[in-house]
Amino acid sequence: MRTMFKVMALAASLSASVSTYAFAEDTVEVLHWWTSGGEAAAVGVLKDDLQKQGVSWQDMPVAGGGGEAANTALKARVTSGNPPTAAQLLGMAVNEWAEEGLLGDLTSVADQEGWDKVVPDAIKAFAVHDGKWQAVPVNIHRPNWLWINAKVFADNGLEPPKTWDEFNVVADKLKEKGIVPLAHGGQPWQDTTIFDDVVVGIGGPEFYKKAILELDESALNSDTMVKVFDQMRKIRGYVDPNFSGRDWNLATAMVIKGEAAMQLMGDWAKGEIVKAGAKPGTNILCVAAPGTEGTFLFNTDFFAMFPVGEDKVAGQHKLAASVMSPSFQEAFNLVKGSIPARTDVPGDKFDPCAQKSMADLKAAQASGTMMGSLAHGHAEPAAIQRAIFDVVTQHFNSDMSSKDAVAALINSVNSAK
Ligand code: BGC
């Protein structure tokens, strides 16, 4: 009787553990801002990958390119004591949350999977704090691209511009013919995506480093910076009258459809191009933003884990391991438009634009011109970034002179420090 009881008890406990194993799913709730067509397709890749490992995805999307709205939503969730399992963060935001002591430690996963050997130092600088991995990099985006509708250019006998002067000549010709030269969405982060390109393109990488990364006052208060705002004023003349507030992906769609000739945007635009069935490098050309060849501005999307209870840690670790696996990095980045965050993923399945990105990244790492993007949260903390956004956008939408813009820039930066 006793033996019988033991056998039954053993059977019951076995079946309980088998069913726990078979049915208990880890659930991760992930807050992110990937809501455009191409971005949502990339989220689909991630969701499917996790599902295969028994992790179910609870979506918490917060629309708004560049992630400002998502960051505000994240702060509200954390402050009210209800953080998501994980959140998409740009580099400076990883730093800020890590300083608050709120991010989960992923070092055990990183050690097991050997992240240290395959992630570029510039990215590790944001992911690792006090020797601990606190965020997992999903990709490397390059914001300093110019996207060109190949047919519009061919029909009008135009060549991709290599400098801002060439850009102005091309744009004037298009404008004369009644073609919108530049598709743009007037939102502070989009204005500043262009501003970053102009700072590098007019001043060179060393000037970007001094003015933007070091906030060196003599660089901010220079003739070069006056010229940067002069070029921003020129660009303002090349956008269509309905640019204000337009989402970035709608601007990309204008280039895909040939309603505008060019867009200055990061390679998440390539996600839209691919999703629309156009070929990057053939229908839509990709060249470095004018004057920025040789410079790789970068931003990385990280996932960081928030304190949601011990029972959720297994799911968080599965998410982290999955995101860094070479097969996921390939599958995801093929759809997202970015390149893998690990340097050991082969490029053969990628399109020519991504292959150029991989080669340019290597060259920029060697020459010290891989630099964090201001517009995309890898150059300055949020307060200073926003101070610069304000001036760039105010200048773009008014008749403020370049000299006044420079004075406003210095004031704004100094009061945000
Ligand atoms: C993010 C990209 C995103 C883009 C537009 C960037 O800051 O890094 O992943 O696609 O914003 O929303």
Q: Which residues line ligand 1 (CB under 6 A)?
A: 33, 39, 65-67, 90, 141, 268, 299, 301, 376
Contacts of 221 (CB under 8 A, 6+ apart): 406, 410
Measuring CA to CA, how many Å separate 326 from each of 148, 191, 198, 331? 31, 34, 35, 9
Average pLDDT for residues 105-132, to the nearest whole number?
97
Cα-to-centroid distance, 264 and ligand 1 (Å):
14
Can you give the pLDDT at residue 25? 84
Residue 170 pLDDT class (50, 70, 90 cuts)? very high
Helix (H, G, I), strand (E, B) or coil at 183: coil
Rounded Cα gap, residues 353 and 191, in angstroms: 23
**CA 188, 99, 73, 79 torsion-angle sign:** negative
Average pLDDT for residues 263-276, to the nearest whole number?
98
Cα-to-centroid distance, 142 and ligand 1 (Å):
10
Protein residue with least CA distance to atom 6, ligand 1: 66
- For the domain 145-298+377-416, what is the CATH code? 3.40.190.10
Residue 4 pLDDT class (50, 70, 90 cuts)? very low
**Where exactly are the structural domains of the chain?**
27-141+299-356, 145-298+377-416
Q: Cβ distance 57 to 30 under 8 Å? A: yes
Cα-to-centroid distance, 239 and ligand 1 (Å):
22
213 pLDDT higher than 80? yes
Residue 2 pLDDT class (50, 70, 90 cuts)? very low
Domains 27-141+299-356 and 145-298+377-416 belong to one CATH topology: yes
Contacts of 217 (CB under 8 A, 6+ apart): 410
Rounded Cα gap, residues 90 and 98, in angstroms: 12
Phi, then psi, of 324 in degrees rounded to 5: -90, 0
Contacts of 61 (CB under 8 A, 6+ apart): 31, 32, 33, 34, 35, 43
Fold of 27-141+299-356: D-Maltodextrin-Binding Protein; domain 2 (3.40.190)
> Percent of the chain having pLDDT more than 70?
94
Q: Cβ distance 305 to 85 under 8 Å? A: yes
